[in-house]
Structure formats: structure tokens, C-alpha cells
């Protein structure tokens, strides 16, 4: 019984961890210094500077990405135009 309970607990923790998974990319300059990061969670990406301050976000819906500044104001969009 204890073994089954532990197995269920491990499965639950693994499921919760997978549901909260985020993709994070670090950016570096030519000297190898961290200059920021981008963290993707679902269809939203948050951009941060090297101090961890949010510099902007983007949201992707379908094939269009909308970019926002740190105050949430829309700054532009990007839509792919085909393959090259």
C-alpha cells in the first residue's frame, strides 16, 4: 500500500512539473557575457535583460506574432510570408 501511494505521489509531481515547464533561452554578447533571456510559456514569450527585468513580451496566434513593450503597449507584428 505504501509503495502504491509513493508511486502515485511521484506520478503527480512529475505531471505538475511537466505542466509548468517553460522553455528558456539565454543570450550572450561576443565576450560571453549574459545580455538577457527569453522564456516561452505556451504561446507567450517574455524577454528579460541581464538584470532579470522584463523588457517586453510577444504572443503568437496562428502564424502571427505580436510584440509588446514592457508596459504592455503593442510595438509591432511579424507574419511569415513563405519559404525561401
Q: Report the C-alpha gap between 37 and 44 in whole angstroms.
A: 14
pLDDT digits (tens, 9 = 90+) for 13-46: 444 444 556 899 999 999 999 999 999 999 999 9
Look at the pTM and tell me if it is higher than 0.85.
Answer: no
Is residue 82 predicted with pLDDT exceeding 80? no
Per domain, the residue ranges of the chain are 35-79
Q: For residue 16, give the C-alpha cell.
A: 505538475
- For β-strands 74-78 and 23-28, DSSP reports them as unpaired
Amino acid at each position: 500500500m505504501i509503495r502504491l501511494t509513493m508511486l502515485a505521489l511521484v506520478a503527480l509531481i512529475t505531471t505538475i512539473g511537466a505542466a509548468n515547464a517553460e522553455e528558456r533561452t539565454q543570450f550572450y554578447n561576443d565576450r560571453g557575457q549574459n545580455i538577457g533571456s527569453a522564456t516561452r510559456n505556451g504561446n507567450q514569450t517574455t524577454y528579460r535583460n541581464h538584470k532579470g527585468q522584463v523588457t517586453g513580451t510577444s504572443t503568437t496566434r496562428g502564424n502571427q506574432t505580436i510584440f509588446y513593450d514592457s508596459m504592455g503597449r503593442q510595438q509591432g507584428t511579424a507574419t511569415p510570408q513563405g519559404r525561401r
